[in-house]
Amino acid sequence: MTRPYRSVLYIPAANARAMEKAQSLPTDAIIFDLEDAVSPSEKPAARDALGAALESGYGARARIVRINGMDSEWGADDARACAGPLAGKAEAVLIPKVNSAADLDVVAGIIPDTPLWAMMETPLAMLNAAEIAAHPRLAGMVMGTNDLAKELNSRFRADRLPMQAGLGLCVLAAKAHGKVIIDGVYNAFKDDEGLRIECEQGRDMGFDGKTLIHPAQLAVANASFAPTEAEVELARRQIAAFDEAMAQGKGVAVVDGKIVENLHIETARKTLDKARAIAEMAG
Ligand SMILES: CC(C)(COP(=O)(O)OP(=O)(O)OC[C@H]1O[C@@H](n2cnc3c(N)ncnc32)[C@H](O)[C@@H]1OP(=O)(O)O)[C@@H](O)C(=O)NCCC(=O)NCCSC(=O)C[C@H](O)C(=O)O
Ligand SMILES: [Mg+2]
């Protein structure tokens, strides 16, 4: 069954209180951040403390460790820690500012087994999205819309028009290679309505979920990226109608005045599968 990634919460790995709190938060996944959210003076201690933290009770929540860039003074030590004391304690290692598949090769050469995820947050990453997504060790991609906006010198707009080309290229690349793709953060963490609009846009584009920076954002993301009751009910009716059509030797059914073919049944089954995975996550 597919693991849900509706909500993917960043937690600074130097913030012990936030890491403890996340054990009871309704988040599908957690990114334990060693990069931007941790000050240079805290980085070595945060890395050392992560081993014990990752072993505490996160239940079914996916644990992802974001290391520092390999061009920084901490990246190589972070990667070695993921291959050493942190090995087997996280579901994935997230690499910032990936520009090409060759950047993944470097980390893959240090960390032998753990699945790799890539931050998609540079203009080169947008142009190389297909080769990055095709990398055999890559399991997921995360949009870094703050860094991308910085690199593009673009303005933040509610409709994210300046981001659309990059977002679209990354969704296409991830889907072409069957990888998870998570949307970027919404910085105004007290603005529920703005977050809801951005989540809906991401969901409509095909993103699997949204990265978040504060627990107050969880409910909106979880609701936006889950199938609605109406979608679940429609999926069930489509499957039932299609089964009946098949029993009568037909290849097409009609539900609510719209045709239902085999391809729609695949989508319907994915909807039910996702709804089941979310229900299991909730326990
Ligand atoms: C933004 C924050 C600094 C705000 O923190 P704070 O002032 O502590 O908020 P609150 O007082 O409202 O917190 C209430 C309680 O919630 C806990 N909390 C806060 N944030 C988190 C969290 N992320 N995960 C878990 N728990 C959290 C507090 O501890 C309070 O708990 P309690 O004591 O029980 O009351 C802070 O939210 C924060 O640091 N957020 C994460 C920032 C971060 O990770 N940034 C880096 C990732 S974003 C990025 O890099 C994007 C990308 O690369 C790009 O380019 O776009
Ligand atoms: Mg970034």
Dihedrals phi, psi of 40, to nearest 5 degrees? -55, -40
Pairing state between β 62-66 and 92-95:
parallel
- For residue 121, the ligand 1 atom closest to its alpha carbon is 55
Residue 283: is its pLDDT beyond 80? no
Pairing state between β 7-12 and 180-183:
unpaired
CA distance to 182, 236, 237, 275, per residue, from 243 (Å): 34, 11, 10, 21
Distance 11 CA to ligand 1 centre (A): 6
Buried b (16+ CB within 10 A) or exposed e, 135-144: bebbbbbbbb
Mean pLDDT of 49-62: 90
Reported ipTM exceeds the 0.85 cut: yes
pTM beyond cutoff 0.90: yes
Residue 156: is its pLDDT beyond 90? yes
Residue 268: is its pLDDT beyond 60? yes
Distance 264 CA to ligand 2 centre (A): 37
Residue 263: is its pLDDT beyond 90? yes
* Chain centre to alpha carbon of residue 179: 10
Mean pLDDT of 67-84: 96
Mean pLDDT of 201-218: 98
Amino acid at 179: K
pLDDT at 1 (0 to 100): 53
Q: Is there a binding annotation on residue 147?
A: yes
Residue 265: is its pLDDT beyond 80? yes
Q: Which ligand is nearest to the CA of 185?
A: 1
Q: Is there a binding annotation on residue 229?
A: no
How does residue 205 score in pLDDT terms, banded at 50, 70 and 90?
very high
Identify the residue whose tokens are 């080309």. 165
Distance 227 CA to ligand 1 centre (A): 27
pLDDT at 210 (0 to 100): 98
